[in-house]
Structure 1
């Protein structure tokens, strides 16, 4: 049964009933013999209870066992399970005491996996340490559609940082000697200022403090880092006057489609922003969050959008400018940096977060057409003359580069694809494979492979990207009937 986080009064009625009905009470302990679980349940133990103390052979990963730490623990759990099985075979009811909840990072689960299929079993849930910590802080863990992530502090710093950056709220458990790593991960993910430290919640020696102020040498194993709901923070930021200090603009790449293509870092910055700025279509891909301000605009006002975002940051706001794909590939990063290079925005901090590009997304759907050298060219002549585009197409084609062609057509640009095909056919054979990727990752995804000679401009629009193979690019039909496209990494010698 789960005994809750430490305060005996937080035990459930059912847990008390089970102890009263039990013949045997089992609990885990370190070699010193003390057991937190037993101390919680002590007032309910009787003199006639048979007590089974399951003593861990090691409490750190240092051991001379031939199987290492994992081998020592596996042997211990097997032996402990058989000790309990002996009581069960004798007809005795066994109550296994567990702090918190038995199936939440608890030692009981190792008994459960070894015994529950052999004997009638009941698991009594308990109040978790995470719930207790939130209660002691007096702060909501999650609200509305926020996501709560539970993490063990034993993860590598980089993994912790990625997960902390991507989530709304979090609890990091098993601190102790992992505290410096957890603190570094919180700082690396930009979440340290919002992190709270809670030690032995609901116990007599409990302690809570801003995590950044905690001495690493004072941190025991029974403590955790808590990142509570962001709603309160964004609500407060929305109501507060602009800060005196300059804010920040972060240009965020959303990838080509939905949330599966979003990096953890980008997800975290979108959640942390006070203001979101972007083209309406792209902004609609970002979930609405309480307290955030959203500033949508048309796709043809990049310069104005960039200056608007920088002006918000200059007044102390934390701004995320959203961009489809990668913001540095024919997208908003250039517009923001161009404006930020001039007065009055030179002092505004600007960061660019990468995203999955449309070219790489489309390539992944058919194999590896970009497996060798390739060039990226936009067919839009709105910002550069067609003569420049034609020269670059011819030069890249003559160099035998695979081509990723962005912005191939729109309602007002219907002839560029046909003209590009003519230029390319001067250097490529008619059967050169061309990948047409439209809305890759989205609900209307369509990916087709055609020959260069059969490329139909009428089947290409602004949401399509074209990948044109080199002389070495191959198409192969696999055993399941699908066609793949790939460009060898080795180029023939001349």
Structure 2
């Protein structure tokens, strides 16, 4: 307890505290030595402690009625001029029962809230492990969340505390396991009180877990050797990659996770991908994409040019052979014109077939561009790369003919670059054989980035000189509509219904 809390209790006329039906109050037991015989005690006993109730308003209705009644009881003392101290374990405004009194009384009577030591801080102190260091993000979660939500949030954060265990423990444990955080997780019960217990969460019997317990996933940085920093290694050729990765004999299998960062970075990064990037010991990728990932102490970064996909894949798999946890960083979705194919091609060769490889989805450039424009891909569509670096133009032209002839909307990747300046013009000519001149075409550039721009032009007016490698084109079908709304914005959409033939 804080010195101020002891002072307030000493000066109070009335001591109020919440408890379950059994009448025992943890808050009262903590403050017991400071209570006097002449204190008036108000035990605010909850009518329910689980969601099973026959109250006509259900569980929430029963609690709301209780809080109104409890506040009214305290108001009687306050109106009589008595000072009321509502004691609450932990901090009164941190998942505390007092907050419900505060909402109902603080605007009517002079109020002082005395901060307290939270169970989160107490648990970390008892474990002797830092909760968060440097730029780590600490997430505090109630165990009552659905399992999928818990799993996603645990996967995406650096450090975490899950509260309100008890009956929720089996769900929390499964979420820890599914998110890959179980080996890091600790269990703390009744921190700083009689009956305190601390163990690895994986070793806890669910039948022994009370409500007043927490799970802690502490700082990863704290486990690193002192002075550990982020190192950056550059692998631009097969020779460099091999020299970096294969020094020494393999020391067991690690894992390769191919991660899609979305088209621009954190806002479109999935929780699963965020967690994989945080957990990796090595990051491998094209420099531009690696720059989107925050620097983390202890991680090694292997940056390379954008034209050495196979070498990057081999480097990642060689690192995994040595027992490293490796994330291959890719833009957009890694399975769409990106690194997943390169990694899997190499992973299916000896000596890499036994190395675990996972591919995590990301927001595609096509989906991000379409969302900015409206819903131009709202019906059937095709995705085609205009780059002839890895396939001949004749194949591209044939596919454009087929997709346009089928009246599909088109998302065109890699439309142009400094060395490829004529493909957009050729594609426009070909598409005009199947599409009306006024077909909407969206030019989406640097979506999600600082130079983002989205414009809609007619197919006949598509200017190849306004298209570069950072631009994605979306060409509408015969049914695609473009309209300007009252706020001046233009939206493009393709109806889900197709006219009957």
Say yes or no: does 1:213 pair with 2:203. Answer: yes
- Partner of residue 52 from structure 2, selected from 62, 78, 81: 62
Total equivalences in the alignment: 482
The equivalent of 2:23 in structure 1 is 33
- Partner of residue 163 from structure 2, selected from 155, 173, 180: 173
Distance 1:290 1:250 in 2: 19
Distance 2:381 2:29 in 1: 67
CA contact 1:302–1:335 (8 Å) conserved in 2: yes
RMSD (CA atoms): 1.2
**Cα deviation, residue 244, structure 1:** 3.0
The equivalent of 2:314 in structure 1 is 307
The equivalent of 2:120 in structure 1 is 130
- Partner of residue 99 from structure 1, selected from 86, 89, 93: 89
Deviations 1:260-318, CA, capped at 9 Å, x for gaps: 10000000000000000000000000000000000000001011011000000011100
Indicate how the Cα distance of structure 1 residues 276 and 242 shifts in structure 2: closer, same or farther if over 3 A, else same. farther
**Cα deviation, residue 242, structure 1:** 9.1
CA contact 1:243–1:317 (8 Å) conserved in 2: no
Indicate how the Cα distance of structure 1 residues 32 and 80 shifts in structure 2: closer, same or farther if over 3 A, else same. same
The equivalent of 1:43 in structure 2 is 33
CA contact 2:129–2:219 (8 Å) conserved in 1: yes
**Cα deviation, residue 245, structure 1:** 2.1
Say yes or no: does 1:325 pair with 2:332. Answer: yes
Say yes or no: does 1:465 pair with 2:472. Answer: yes
Deviations 1:420-458, CA, capped at 9 Å, x for gaps: 000001111110000011110111101100110111111
**Cα deviation, residue 48, structure 1:** 1.1
CA contact 1:242–1:317 (8 Å) conserved in 2: no
Distance 1:116 1:259 in 2: 40
- Counterparts in 2 of 1:262-273, with a 5 A limit? 262-273=269-280
Distance 2:186 2:132 in 1: 15
CA contact 1:379–1:416 (8 Å) conserved in 2: yes
The equivalent of 1:254 in structure 2 is 261
- Partner of residue 380 from structure 1, selected from 372, 383, 387: 387
Say yes or no: does 1:275 pair with 2:265. Answer: no
1:434 match: secondary structure: strand
**Structure 1, unaligned runs of 5 or more:** 1-10
The equivalent of 2:236 in structure 1 is none
**Cα deviation, residue 258, structure 1:** 2.2
- Partner of residue 445 from structure 2, selected from 407, 428, 438: 438
- Partner of residue 295 from structure 1, selected from 296, 299, 302: 302
Distance 1:228 1:459 in 2: 50
Distance 1:244 1:423 in 2: 55
Deviations 1:13-47, CA, capped at 9 Å, x for gaps: 00000011111110111111111111111111111
**Cα deviation, residue 233, structure 1:** 4.1
Distance 2:250 2:165 in 1: 34
Distance 1:49 1:242 in 2: 73
Indicate how the Cα distance of structure 1 residues 54 and 242 shifts in structure 2: closer, same or farther if over 3 A, else same. farther
The equivalent of 1:201 in structure 2 is 191
1:86 match: secondary structure: helix
**Cα deviation, residue 243, structure 1:** 7.9
The equivalent of 1:87 in structure 2 is 77
- Partner of residue 349 from structure 1, selected from 341, 348, 356: 356
**Cα deviation, residue 234, structure 1:** 5.4
Distance 1:482 1:442 in 2: 20
The equivalent of 2:454 in structure 1 is 447
TM (norm. structure 1) is 0.96
**Cα deviation, residue 480, structure 1:** 1.1
Distance 2:482 2:186 in 1: 55
Indicate how the Cα distance of structure 1 residues 70 and 402 shifts in structure 2: closer, same or farther if over 3 A, else same. same
Distance 2:220 2:401 in 1: 52
The equivalent of 2:218 in structure 1 is 228
**Cα deviation, residue 144, structure 1:** 0.2
Indicate how the Cα distance of structure 1 residues 130 and 352 shifts in structure 2: closer, same or farther if over 3 A, else same. same
Indicate how the Cα distance of structure 1 residues 399 and 233 shifts in structure 2: closer, same or farther if over 3 A, else same. farther
Distance 1:134 1:233 in 2: 14
**Cα deviation, residue 235, structure 1:** 5.0
**Cα deviation, residue 232, structure 1:** 3.2
CA contact 1:254–1:323 (8 Å) conserved in 2: yes
1:110 match: secondary structure: helix
TM (norm. structure 2) is 0.95
Distance 1:478 1:13 in 2: 62
**Structure 2, unaligned runs of 5 or more:** 230-247
The equivalent of 1:400 in structure 2 is 407
